[in-house]
């Protein structure tokens, strides 16, 4: 399993939200490029970046900062947030982004999702953000009445290779991750599963690693010191 340290961007700054609430935002006093370099030095291979402003507006608000992160980090970078048209997908991939994550557009524009998966294959991932059993969209501010299981079934049939699953109730709360959810999803579907939300301790990391899932995203726990990134990477490398 891979550890994916996370950078969430708002106004060009590194931030974390609590339960996806934009009014409960913590700003960390570290430049995005500095955070990215520290991840590489700790042994991370893949990094997860989200444009929170873009997730709300539907536009690539922090694209310039993200492109700088890609240039400076030397890591495989996956990016999500506000990616809702082919032009933005192409811009990020041309800039060296390894994988583009579609969220709102994947749910609301099935033809767009299918076209992007057909065109770019494994370079397209889908973010499935779960709130009260439903898929949340538009920066977690709305839901379209779609059960997450139904959406995952759709992604499986389409041939999506990588799905990032976030339990919003756990995100940023430092209260542990939803191990049962990820175990059930990883057992049922063939796509690679990345767990996101509430990964707070090395015990969380160990438990997820035993599920044989693709990755675990770690955000706030790295910034506040609850998880030492280099230790988390070592835990997942133990056979």
Residues 47-95 pLDDT 10s: 999 999 998 888 999 999 999 999 999 999 999 999 999 999 999 999 9
For the segment 172-176, the average pLDDT, to the nearest whole number, is: 55
Distance CA 232, CA 38 (A): 14
Distance CA 170, CA 166 (A): 8
> If residue 223 lies in a helix (H) or strand (E), which one and from where to where?
helix 220-223
Q: 2-233, what's its fold?
A: TIM Barrel (3.20.20)
Distance CA 195, CA 162 (A): 11
Distance CA 131, CA 109 (A): 20
Both tokens of 79, joined, read 């990016």
Q: Rounded mean pLDDT of the chain? A: 90
pLDDT band at 16; cut points 50, 70, 90: confident
pLDDT of the residue at 172: 47
Percent of residues, the chain, with pLDDT higher than 70: 92
118: alpha, beta or left? (left if phi > 0; alpha if psi -120 to 50): alpha
Q: For the chain, what is the largest distance between any 2 Cα atoms, rounded to a whole number of angstroms?
A: 43
What size, in residues, is the chain? 239
User: Of 120, 140, 121, which is closest to residue 196 (Cα–Cα)?
Assistant: 140
For the segment 169-182, the average pLDDT, to the nearest whole number, is: 70
pLDDT of the residue at 142: 59
Residue of 8, 143, 171, 204 marked active site? 8
Distance CA 60, CA 51 (A): 7
- Of residues 220 and 113, more confidence is placed in 113
53: annotated active-site residue: no
Distance CA 231, CA 97 (A): 26
pTM for the whole structure? 0.91
- How is the chain split into domains, by residue range? 2-233
- Of residues 28 and 189, more confidence is placed in 189
For the segment 161-171, the average pLDDT, to the nearest whole number, is: 83
pLDDT of the residue at 173: 45
228: annotated active-site residue: no
Residues 110-146 pLDDT 10s: 999 999 999 999 999 999 989 888 998 765 555 678 9
Residues 32-46 pLDDT 10s: 999 999 999 999 999
Residue of 51, 53, 129, 167 marked active site? 129
């Amino acid at each position: 399993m891979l550890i994916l340290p996370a950078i969430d961007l708002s106004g060009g700054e590194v931030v974390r939200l609590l339960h996806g609430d934009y009014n409960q935002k913590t700003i960390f006093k570290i430049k995005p490029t500095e955070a990215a370099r520290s991840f590489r030095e700790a042994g991370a291979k893949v990094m997860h970046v989200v444009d929170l402003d873009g997730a709300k507006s539907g536009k690539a608000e922090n694209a310039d900062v993200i492109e700088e992160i890609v240039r400076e980090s030397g890591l495989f970078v996956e990016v999500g947030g506000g990616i809702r048209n082919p032009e933005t997908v192409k811009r990020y991939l041309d800039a060296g982004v390894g994988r583009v994550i579609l969220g709102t557009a994947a749910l609301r524009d099935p033809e767009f999702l299918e076209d992007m998966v057909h065109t770019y294959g494994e370079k397209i991932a889908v973010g499935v953000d779960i709130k009260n059993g439903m898929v949340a969209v538009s920066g977690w501010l709305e839901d379209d009445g779609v059960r997450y299981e139904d959406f995952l079934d759709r992604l499986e049939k389409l041939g999506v290779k990588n799905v990032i699953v976030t339990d919003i109730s756990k995100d940023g709360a430092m209260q542990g991750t939803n191990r049962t959810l990820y175990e059930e999803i990883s057992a049922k579907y063939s796509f690679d599963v990345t767990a996101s939300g509430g990964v707070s301790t090395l015990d969380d990391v160990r438990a997820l690693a035993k599920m044989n899932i693709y990755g675990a995203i770690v955000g706030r726990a790295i910034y506040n010191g609850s998880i030492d990134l280099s230790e988390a990477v070592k835990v997942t490398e133990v056979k």
